[in-house]
Amino acid sequence: MKPTKVAEMLHENERKVLHALSSESIATTEQLAQKTGLGRDAVEKASDWAATKGVVVFNEEVSQFFTLTDEGDVYSENGLPEKNLLDQLKTGPKPIKELQKTVEGMNIALAWVRRNRWADIDKGVLSITEAGKAVGETSEEKLIVKLKAGGKVDAKEFNEDELETIAQLVKRNLVKESQTVTRYVAITDFGKQVLPELDKVESKPVITQLTPEMLATGSWRGSRFQTYDVTLPVPSTTPGKRHFISQIIDYIRRFWVELGFKEMKGNYLELNFWNFDALYQPQDHPARDLADTFYMKTPYKGRLPDHKIVEQVKQTHENGWTTGSKGWQYKWDPEFAKRTVLRTHTTSLSVLQIAKLKPEDLPGKFFSVGRVF
């Protein structure tokens, strides 16, 4: 794209950043914020936009620093516990109980002298080893002194061995690590070609939003409309997606089907007969009250199934039929069984499926996942 066109597409903040880079080809976002009078966030956003147009490159550098913790600062004054313990042992073996009274952080000190094989324990008495006698200033002590003097020290000032030691001090909570991110913006060769075009662009006021007042007064005449590059990549939008509960239901459905089950499907609108009566729930049961069940006005009633099935359900309610039970001992009302309801559970699908089963359908495995009311 031609420099003139790109210059017309630059936002005011992008132009400020580009002007600020005219004297110095590269600068930090903090330096650009000072030069442009913009906030750091505004500079970073403008630089990011300008980078998409190829006029600048936007990079960042992560710096690692180390400082002493409060505990590390105490040790820098009083010495490491393990070294203080060694000083006590240089005069001869001593019982651990006695050392616990005189050595601060005795448990830490004991762990490290044993780990480094600086001392041996025999029947509760601690004695220094030859390795312990030969210990001078440790690498840990040297680094603590260096960090105490330097305060916040850049990781670049340490060699590989020192960094390994610092890693141990970090684990001991004597040193803490921090990071600083410095962002740099540099003008490109193409950006240098765009720079001279900015004066032409800025000579006319730019309209980014056309208002009714501008149209009514004609004040838009002689101004320049903001140019946009519609070919630039933009974040993808997801205006809609399936609800997570629907996704879970589909997952459950696939799971059961893959196991060889067949799905039972039915209507939301169901007869009292299948929703309650066929499941041996008495017609005067509290669960059938209007507070718990949605009875329909239209259609008010439906058609009962085969007479044989209805008769068996009727007898079971009234006297137990051939089940050996006495039933509910009341007169079953077929008209009430015809009432329509919004199904209160999917178990109604189970009895419907059982009623439809033929000998050749057996054995069978069935499941249902559906809405209830």
**Which amino acid would we find at residue 339?**
R
Provide the residue count of the chain. Answer: 373
Is there a domain that residue 346 lies in? yes
**3-state class of 1 per DSSP?**
coil
Spatial distance between the Cα atoms of 259 and 251, rounded to a whole number of angstroms: 13
CA distance 270 to 276: 10
Measured CA to CA in angstroms, residue 322 lies from 155, 281, 317, 331, 336 at distances of 88, 17, 11, 17, 24
Domain around 298: 261-367
pLDDT of residue 367: 95
Q: What is the DSSP string of 17-67?
A: HHHHTTTSSEEEHHHHHHHH---HHHHHHHHHHHHHTTSEEEEEEEEEEEE
| Domain annotation covers residue 359 | yes
Distance separating alpha carbons of residues 100 and 261, to the nearest angstrom? 70
Pairing of strands 94-95, 125-128: antiparallel
350: domain CATH number? Answer: 3.30.930.10
| Entry pTM | 0.47
Which is it for strands 94-95 and 26-28: parallel, antiparallel or unpaired?
unpaired
Is 292 a member of any domain? yes
Among the listed residues 200, 201, 219, the one whose alpha carbon sits nearest the alpha carbon of residue 210: 219
At 326-346, the pLDDT tens digits run 999 999 999 999 999 999 999
Instruction: Kindly state whether residue 335 falls inside one of the protein's structural domains.
Output: yes
Q: What is the mean pLDDT of residues 161-184?
A: 90
Is 326 a member of any domain?
Answer: yes
pLDDT digits (tens, 9 = 90+) for 262-305: 999 999 999 999 999 999 999 988 877 765 789 999 999 999 99
CA gap 263, 270 in Å, rounded: 18
**Average confidence score pLDDT of the chain:** 88
SS3 300: coil
The yes-or-no verdict on residue 231 having pLDDT over 80 is no
* CA–CA separation, 252 and 241 (whole Å): 19
Going through the chain in order, the beta strands assigned E by DSSP cover 26-28, 56-68, 94-95, 119-122, 125-128, 153-154, 175-187, 206-207, 224-225, 262-263, 269-271, 340-342, 366-367
Mean pLDDT of 62-78: 89
pLDDT digits (tens, 9 = 90+) for 3-41: 888 888 888 888 888 888 888 889 888 988 999 898 989
Q: Does a structural domain hold residue 95? A: yes
Is 40 among the domain residues? Answer: no
Q: What's the number of CA atoms in the CB half-sphere (13 Å) around residue 309?
A: 16
- Residue that finishes a domain, picked among 91, 108, 137: 137
At position 234, the amino acid (one-letter code) is V
Query: Number of structural domains, the chain?
Result: 2
Q: Which is higher by pLDDT, 343 or 125?
A: 343
Among residues 118, 137, 156, the one where a domain terminates is 137
Q: pLDDT band at residue 66, thresholds of 50, 70 and 90?
A: very high
Q: What is the pLDDT of residue 348?
A: 94
Residue ending a domain, among 137, 154, 175, is 137
246 part of a folded domain: no
Q: Is 226 within 8 Å of 208 (Cβ atoms)?
A: yes
pLDDT in the model for residue 291? 58
What are the φ and ψ backbone dihedral angles of 338, each rounded to 5 degrees?
Answer: -80, -15
